[in-house]
Structure 1
Amino acid sequence: MGLLDRFRRVAPGRDRVSRGRSAETGYLVEWMRTRTGVEGFVEPKTTVTDVTVVLVAADGEWTRRIVGERGARRLARDLGIPVYDVGRTGYPQRMRDYDARRRIERKRAMEQELGEG
């Protein structure tokens, strides 16, 4: 706990975890708003993380956030986008293609920096 944490007011019934999750949800809403063709893929809880959701845009760009079980259901309802269970559907090919393109771009940028230096 930080020095000033005890002076910060927390609304009744809301702890730091729920505040963090609402921030995550806000980020996901904004991310979705600025992209097209977004679909959600819910990942199960693991020993390390709670339930997560991966949003994937039409071009394959993606983002992942921890949302919890209730947060995943709420996102599916509130965002109005298709949401899939990644255990049943797997990840979309466009997501893997996007990652492959990014690796190639990083490699080219690194080679270009080394060539100029």
Structure 2
Amino acid sequence: MGLFRRKRRGRLASSADEAHLEEFARTRRGVEAYIEPRTAVTDTTVVLVADTGEWTRRRVAGPQAAHALAYRLGIPAYDAAIVGYPQRMRDWTRRRAQEEEARRRADSGGQQ
């Protein structure tokens, strides 16, 4: 009768998560959705990637909710486990890491 069932917490995306994804898609060009499956550690998430490679990730209620969100936003949706991620996303992440490292060096006066 459900006495020993674990209550799943955090499974549904918050309205703030959904608002963030909508804002990201609305304010950037060429946005695509990459749906990441639920794992033992994380809930289903969706990664939105702009044409510049800038990206954001948020939790969603499930794969159907992610596809529905993409449809509502008018953007293509892909299964990240099948197609992977676009190179532009990896390039953007690498550039950001390099910029952050350069900023840290400048703040420390070039000393390590």
Do Structure 1 and Structure 2 share a fold, with TM-score over 0.5?
Answer: yes
Larger RCO (CA within 8 A; separation ≥ 6): 2
How well do the aligned residues superpose, as a CA RMSD in angstroms?
2.1
Does residue 93 of structure 1 match 2:87?
yes
Change (3 A) 1:116 1:96: closer
Does residue 105 of structure 1 match 2:99?
yes
The list of structure 1 runs, each at least 4 consecutive aligned residues, that deviate by more than 4 angstroms after superposition, is 16-20
> Any stretches of 5+ residues in structure 2 without a counterpart?
1-8
- Over residues 47-99 of structure 1, what are the superposed CA-to-partner deviations in whole Å (9 max), with x where a residue is unaligned? 12221000001111100000121321211221110110001110100000001
Deviation at 1:23, TM superposition (A): 2.3
TM-score by length of 1: 0.78
TM-score by length of 2: 0.81
Deviation at 1:116, TM superposition (A): 7.2
| Structure richer in helix, relative to its length | 1
Aligned partner of 1:45: which letter?
R
Which among 25, 28, 40 is matched to residue 35 of structure 1? 28
Would you say how many aligned residue pairs link Structure 1 and Structure 2? 102
* Alignment partner, residue 3 of structure 2: none
Task: Return the alpha-carbon distance in structure 2 between the equivalents of residues 43 and 19 of structure 1.
Answer: 15
